[in-house]
Amino acid sequence: MHVCVIGAGIVGLASGYALQQAGYEVSLVERAEAPAMGASGGNGAQLSYAYVQPLADPGIWASLPKLLLDKTSPLHMRWQLDPHQWSWLLQFLGACNAASSRATTQSLLTLAAQSRAALEATLQREQLNCDFHTPGKLVLQSTQVGLDGAARQLQLQAQLGGPQQHMVDAAEVARLEPALQHYVSQIAGAVYTPSECAIDCRKLCEALLALLRQRGAQVLLGCEVQQFQTQGSRITGVQTTRGVHQADHFVLAGGWESVPLARQLGVKRLPVYPLKGYSLTLDAGTAAEQLPRVSVTDSSRKVVFARIGERLRVAGMVEIVGADRALHLDRIERLREATHQVFPQLDIPDDLQPWTGMRPATPTGLPITGRMPGGPQNLWLQTGHGALGLTLAFGSAQRLLEALDAAC
Instruction: Map out the domains of the chain as residue ranges.
Output: 2-406
- How far apart are the C-alpha atoms of 237 and 221, rounded to whole Å? 17
Query: 385 with 396: CB under 8 angstroms?
Result: yes
Across the chain, what does the average pLDDT equal?
93
Least confident of 66-75, 200-209, 309-318: 66-75
Residue range 155-200, pLDDT digits in tens: 888 888 878 788 999 999 999 999 999 999 999 999 999 999 999 9
- How far apart are the C-alpha atoms of 278 and 314, rounded to whole Å? 8
Query: 253 with 11: CB under 8 angstroms?
Result: yes
Residue range 283-328, pLDDT digits in tens: 977 577 889 999 999 998 999 999 999 999 999 999 999 999 999 9
Least confident of 153-157, 230-234, 270-274: 153-157
DSSP assignment, residue 327? -
Name residue 276's beta-bridge partners.
319, 358
Angle at 297 between CA 296 and CA 302, to 5 degrees: 150
CATH match of 2-406 with 3.50.50.60: yes
- How far apart are the C-alpha atoms of 297 and 318, rounded to whole Å? 15
- How far apart are the C-alpha atoms of 65 and 74, rounded to whole Å? 13
